[in-house]
A = this chain, B = another copy of it.
Amino acid sequence: MKKQQINYKARAAIIKAIAHPSRLFIIEELNKGKRSAGKLTEMIGADPSTVSKHLGILKNAGLVFDEKRGTTVYYHLKAPCILDFISCVEAVLETNARTQLEIVRRCKR
């Protein structure tokens, strides 16, 4: 495999780590401050093991880091610039919605 292709693969791996509703939620929540695994589990409303796995994926991608205090594990956001990107995604969503609206309008005529 070529050097360039490896780079694309590495970048895609990080983006893939963000590409999940729960993980997206976790990133946005951690942007507000550190949160425990339990707190995030409660907010998401899934099985603790499921959320733990999501946190593991984000940690493995280097997007968050954990800090253990007693029995609870606090997670912190490592790359806040990810948030800028999410705002771009929001813009894409809005454009898509506008396009859909335009299609609906045209059909009405």
Contact = CB atoms under 8 A, between A and B. Distances in A.
A91 B62 contact: no
A23 B8 CA distance: 9
B99 A62 contact: yes
Copy number in the complex reads 2
Interface string A76-103: 0011011011101111110110010000
A70 interface: no
Contact of A82 (B19, B88, B93): B88
B95 A79 contact: yes
Contact of A14 (B9, B10, B84, B93): B93
Nearest to A9: B21
B20 A12 contact: yes
Contacts of A18: 15, 19
18 contacts: A8-B22, A8-B24, A11-B90, A12-B19, A12-B21, A15-B15, A16-B19, A16-B20, A18-B19, A19-B19, A62-B92, A62-B99, A79-B88, A79-B91, A81-B91, A82-B85, A82-B88, A84-B84
